[in-house]
Amino acid sequence: MRIVLLGAPGSGKGTQAKLLVEKYKIPQMSTGDLLRAEVAAGTDLGKKARAAMDAGQLVTDDVVLGMIQARLARPDAKNGFILDGFPRNIPQAQALDAMLARLGQPLQLALLVDVGADVLMKRLTGRRNCGSCGAIYNIHFSAPKTSNKCDKCGSSLTHRSDDNEHTVSNRLKVYQEQTAPLANYYKAQGKLRTVRGVGTVSIIFKTMTEIIESQIRPLADVMGKIESAAQRAAALAKAEEAKIKAAAKAEKIAKAAIAKAKTAPTTKVKLAVKKAVIKKAAPVSKAKVKAKLKTKKTAKPAKKAKGKSKTKARAKKVK
Active site residues: 13, 88, 127, 160, 171
Nearest to 91 by CA among 62, 116, 70, 118: 62
Residues whose CB is less than 8 angstroms from the CB of residue 191 and which lie 6 or more positions away in sequence, other chains included: 107, 108, 109, 110, 219
Query: Coil, helix or strand for 295?
Result: helix
158 neighbors 131 (Cβ within 8 angstroms): yes
Distance of CA 226 to the CA centre of its chain: 16
Pairing of strands 127-130, 136-138: antiparallel
Establish whether the linkage from the previous residue to 87 is cis, with ω within 30° of 0: yes
Query: Coil, helix or strand for 66?
Result: helix
Nearest to 123 by CA among 202, 13, 19, 4: 13
Distance of CA 309 to the CA centre of its chain: 111
